[in-house]
Structure formats: C-alpha cells, structure tokens
Amino acid sequence: MSEPIPPSDETQKQALALTYAAFVAGLCSIVYELLIATTVSYFLGDSVRYFSLTIGMYMAAMGAGSYCSKYIGENLISRFLQFEIALAALGGLSIPLLYLSYIHESLFIPTYVLLTCAIGFLIGLEIPFLTRLMESFKALKSNIANILTFDYIGALIATIAFPFFLLPVLGNYQSSLVLGLINLSIIAVLMRYFGNSLGTAKRQIVTWLIVIAVVLSAGVVFTSQALYEWDQALFDDRIVHAEQSRYQKIILTKNEDDIRLYLNGNIQFSSRDEYRYHESLISYPLAYKQGPVKRVLLLGAGDGLAVKQLLRYPEIEAIVLVDLDERVVELARTNPHLLTHNEGSLDDPKLSIVFADAFTYLMENQVPFDLIISDLPDPNNIELARLYTKQFYQAMRTNLAPKGIFVTQSTSPYFATKAFWSIHNTVEASGFTHVVPYRADVPSFGDWGFIMASDTELSTLRENAILPSNEFLNIKMLDAMRVFAKDQAHADVEVNNIHNPVLISYYLEGWQRFGY
C-alpha cells in the first residue's frame, strides 16, 4: 500500500473528484437496478418475483465484479474510466434495450438477465477501484469510510428521486438515458483532474465519452418518437393517444369505429363490445337488487363507461367513483374518442370523483352504499392482487347497506380458471352469505367472469329487471350466465390473503399457458 500524499490544492481536488465519483456511482447503481426491475414488472407482471430476481442477480454479479477487481493491478484510473464508460452505456441504454427486446418476445428474458448481470458486474468493480485510487490521499480507515458514506448517500437520494421524480416526470425509458448521462459525468470530472496521468488512453476515453454522450442525448431528445414507434409495433391498430402516467402506461387505439383503451398493455375496453361487459358488470347485479338503489360506489372505471351505464337508472341519486390515476379520468373527460362513447358521463352532477387507493377509501368511508362495483385491472402484480384479497372484500362488506350487493370483474374463467375460482373462494371467505359466479362472452376479452355477493339472496328478480336500452342482456339469459362448462368447473384453490397473495401465481400461470 502506498503512503498517503501530503495534501495540496491539486491532491485535495483529486480526492474530491473521487468522492464525487463515489456519490454518483451510488446514485446510478440503485436507479439502474430499480429501473430494470420496474420495467420487467411492467411487462411481465408479478413485481415481487422480478424485483427479487433482479436484486439477487445484481448482488451476485456485484460480488463477482468485486472479486475480479483484485486481478487488475495497473493503470487503475484509466481502467476505472473505461469501466465507467461501459457502465454508462449499458445502464443508460438498458431500458431502451429491454423495450426493443420485448417486441421480439424470445429475446426479452435473455436480454434482461444479461443486462442485469453485466451492469451488476461493472458496479461491483466501482468501490474496490475507488478505494484503491483513494489510498494515495487518505489512510485506509478514512478512505473506506468516505467512499462508502458518499456511495450510500447517493443511493439514498436515488431511492427518494425514483418514485417522486424520475418515474412520474421522466418515465422509466427516459430516466435510464438521463442516468447514463449523469454516470458519464464521473468520467468528465475525473478527466479534469487525472487527465495528465492517462497517457495514450486519454484520446480513446475522450472519443468514447463523446460517442456515448451523443447517443444518450439523442435518446433523450427523441424519446417521444421512439416510444410512439415502439407502442405502434405492439398494437395492430393506429395509436391516437399514448402517455405514461405516474401509475401506468395509457394507450388509446383506433381502427375504423373501434376505439380501444389499454393500461400497461392490458385491454380495458373495445367500443364495439363494451356494452356486453358493462351490462354484465352493472345491469346483471341490479336485476337482482331488492329494495332501493340510491348510492353506488364504483372502484376503478375511470373511462366513464360504467358511469354511463349506471346513469340509465333514474333511481340512483349519487355515484362515487374512486380511481387512483387522475390521468385516466382526465383523458376520459377531454379526449373526443372517449367522450363519444362515455357520453360525457364523468361530468354528470350525480357523480363525485375521489382520487385515492380503493382499499384506503373503503377503510375510511363512513356512509354505506346500496351497490359496490369493483372494476379494477386484473391482479397481475402485488399492488393489484391486494385489491382481490379476503381483507379487501371484508372491508367491502362493511361498506354495504342492508340488502346491498357487491360485484367484481374476476378475469376469465376459461383462460385463468384457477384465478377466477380463487377470487370466488376469497369473496366467500370474507363473510358474504350469498356468492354467485357468472360469466359473459365479450369478444374483445374472451369468456369473462364476474362474482356477485350479498347477505341477501340473489335469485329473485326485481320488477323491470332488464332495461329496455340494454343491447346484450335479456331475461332468458340471466340464469344461463350462471352455468359454467366442464373446463371452467369450480377449482379447488386457495383463498387470496394479504399475507399470502396466491392469486398472482394462479393468474399468471393461467394466461401464460395460452401464450399471453
């Protein structure tokens, strides 16, 4: 080990430059990891699985990088700068590469694994290299303490910036490009104070610095165009609106008279057959509702189509819509394609809109409802699966008025049979005395399932059970909708709990079996 150099202006600046490198390294390393895990979870669902796999591979690769660093003994500063250029390029382009590979499905998982391991390996080299570079300026004890302190401070800032700034403001795609540019600032700063010691490697490093900076900057500038082309490659129909909200990717497509809304790649409705879905979700349970229906709670359904169907019932006096994503509601209020189909329902005076988590709202609400409709996205990740748990349905039950009815969309009993019956069993386990599963054919979705529940019997039709305006439901088909084919028969599956969210596995297993 070399003896520390007596402090001077120049050496102090070099030490500060290395400290800056440790800070930025900590910041970038955490964000790369979070971006990769988040993006894979967006595409494949099951966030717990892919965050766990990403962290595991990342840590293992970092360990391998740290171990291999001991075999590099010469030209430490030039080697470190070369590794940082590679890391900035891989980290900065990691999300664009994942997006590109997702178009070619067979390449996605290999790309994910290779990127995670390669970035982890390069990050594993950073701390050993910085520690060895700093040993010329400080004693080992202070050296390690300083490097790790600023590395961890960078990581802390990254974990705060990621959910509150990077994802909501820049999105995952642009965030990776920006972080790559921030990563390059390490090279620029160290070149300023160590450039004279690089020898012949200096020109090569400067060239690569410029090339990677130009590529990443171009990526930032053309993010919108790149994402539009990527979105269009995934959808057969023309995209008329695309945006990344704080919570999800929102896509609106048009093909002649067919308008379709997608959230995170999952279809929410097709204007050609949405009436089948919404009549099944709303008019079917109302056909069996005994007593008045004055107050209705709608969870999700920010597109306004469920509200439109509810407004066809004049006895309904108040509708409360609870949605997490303000952007979906704002789009449904202003986009001409959506306004044509929801008929401006979101501006009706009977409607109140609350932007909140559905579970939180149920726990805090004090006024019961005659009908509660859960029109939430499918449970393909832990955040959504909690809205299909026994605890969620227990909260739902306490929010119902006497003779009240609860209904939830429950994914496909054909494609995801186990998931459908797990939702059914979970609703039963939550305490409802009458639970009725039923299904409807919605061409854009396939065979779709619903669960209706109440503490009052659900077999007696109310007077004027079917609206004359209904395009799908009629009296004769109501009983038939409760009949399931042999390949959709009740499955012996577990109840979905917050502490054991089995529904995610059932859901993904079912849809993946059919190649979705």
Q: Can you give the pLDDT at residue 413?
A: 97
Residues 391/497, Cβ–Cβ less than 8 Å: yes
- Look at residue 144 and tell me whether its pLDDT is greater than 80: no
Nearest Cα residue to 388 out of 511, 512, 503: 503
Q: Can you give the pLDDT at residue 148?
A: 83
**What would the two tokens of residue 99 be?**
């997006």
Q: Can you give the pLDDT at residue 438?
A: 98
Can you tell me the distance from the alpha carbon of 158 to that of 166, in angstroms, rounded to the nearest whole number? 9
Helix axes 417-429, 503-513, angle to 10 degrees: 160
Confidence of residue 141 (pLDDT cuts 50, 70, 90): low
Confidence of residue 468 (pLDDT cuts 50, 70, 90): confident
Residues 265/233, Cβ–Cβ less than 8 Å: no
Can you tell me the distance from the alpha carbon of 199 to that of 443, in angstroms, rounded to the nearest whole number? 68
Burial 34-57 (b: 16+ CB within 10 A, else e): bbbbbbbbbbbbbbebbbebbeeb
Known binding residue 357? Answer is yes
SS3 241: strand
Nearest Cα residue to 451 out of 408, 494, 485: 408
Known binding residue 499? Answer is no
Strands 258-263 and 249-255: antiparallel
Confidence of residue 142 (pLDDT cuts 50, 70, 90): low
Q: Can you give the pLDDT at residue 328?
A: 96
Percent of the chain clearing pLDDT 70 (strictly above): 97
Can you tell me the distance from the alpha carbon of 295 to that of 289, in angstroms, rounded to the nearest whole number? 13
Q: Can you give the pLDDT at residue 167?
A: 86
Any catalytic annotation for residue 375?
yes
Q: Can you give the pLDDT at residue 6?
A: 56
Confidence of residue 8 (pLDDT cuts 50, 70, 90): low
Q: What is the pLDDT of residues 313-338, one digit of tens each?
A: 999 999 999 999 999 999 999 999 99
Known binding residue 278? Answer is yes
Q: Can you give the pLDDT at residue 53?
A: 95
Length of the chain as a residue count: 516
Q: Can you give the pLDDT at residue 2?
A: 53
**What would the two tokens of residue 6 be?**
């007596």
- Neighbouring residues of 477: CB distance < 8 A, sequence distance ≥ 6: none
Q: What is the pLDDT of residues 43-84, one digit of tens each?
A: 887 788 899 999 999 999 999 999 999 888 778 888 899 999
Our measurement of the distance from residue 102's CA atom to the centroid of its chain's CA atoms, rounded to an integer in Å, reads 16
Confidence of residue 143 (pLDDT cuts 50, 70, 90): low
Can you tell me the distance from the alpha carbon of 187 to that of 198, in angstroms, rounded to the nearest whole number? 12
Can you tell me the distance from the alpha carbon of 80 to that of 410, in angstroms, rounded to the nearest whole number? 53
Known binding residue 273? Answer is no
For residue 273, the tally of other CB atoms under 10 A from its CB is 17
Can you tell me the distance from the alpha carbon of 267 to that of 405, in angstroms, rounded to the nearest whole number? 26
Residues 282/374, Cβ–Cβ less than 8 Å: no
Which has the minimum average pLDDT: 190-204, 245-259, 471-485?
A: 190-204
Can you tell me the distance from the alpha carbon of 96 to that of 304, in angstroms, rounded to the nearest whole number? 33
Q: Can you give the pLDDT at residue 221?
A: 95
Q: Can you give the pLDDT at residue 139?
A: 55
- Look at residue 350 and tell me whether its pLDDT is greater than 70: yes
Known binding residue 424? Answer is no
Can you tell me the distance from the alpha carbon of 90 to that of 61, in angstroms, rounded to the nearest whole number? 14
Can you tell me the distance from the alpha carbon of 465 to that of 10, in angstroms, rounded to the nearest whole number? 85
Residues 386, 389, 395, CA angle at the centre, nearest 5°?
100
Residues 182, 184, 185, CA angle at the centre, nearest 5°?
65
Can you tell me the distance from the alpha carbon of 182 to that of 186, in angstroms, rounded to the nearest whole number? 8
Backbone phi, then psi, for 100, in 5-degree steps?
A: -65, -45
Between these two residues, 444 and 49, which has the higher pLDDT value? 444
For residue 321, the tally of other CB atoms under 10 A from its CB is 25
Strand partners, 249: 244
SS3 400: strand
DSSP-assigned letters across all residues of 140-166: HHHHHHHHHHHHHHHHHHHHHHIIIII
First to last CA, the chain: 57
Can you tell me the distance from the alpha carbon of 270 to that of 274, in angstroms, rounded to the nearest whole number? 6
- Output the average pLDDT for the chain: 91
What are the structural domains of the chain? 9-225 (1.20.1250.20), 230-266 (no CATH), 272-513 (3.40.50.150)
Can you tell me the distance from the alpha carbon of 130 to that of 120, in angstroms, rounded to the nearest whole number? 16
Percent of the chain clearing pLDDT 90 (strictly above): 71
Can you tell me the distance from the alpha carbon of 436 to that of 441, in angstroms, rounded to the nearest whole number? 17
Known binding residue 303? Answer is yes
Q: What is the pLDDT of residues 183-237, one digit of tens each?
A: 999 999 998 888 777 777 888 999 999 999 999 999 999 998 898 888 888 888 8
Q: Among 46, 151, 375, 378, which one carries the catalytic annotation?
A: 375
Between these two residues, 3 and 218, which has the higher pLDDT value? 218
Q: What is the pLDDT of residues 253-269, one digit of tens each?
A: 999 999 999 998 889 99
Burial 213-231 (b: 16+ CB within 10 A, else e): beebeebbeebeebbeebb
Nearest Cα residue to 124 out of 205, 79, 60, 177: 60
Q: Can you give the pLDDT at residue 160?
A: 93
Burial 236-246 (b: 16+ CB within 10 A, else e): ebebeebebbe
- Look at residue 516 and tell me whether its pLDDT is greater than 70: yes
Between these two residues, 366 and 10, which has the higher pLDDT value? 366
DSSP-assigned letters across all residues of 282-313: IIHHHHT--S---EEEEEE-TTSHHHHHHTT-
**What would the two tokens of residue 19 be?**
């400290």
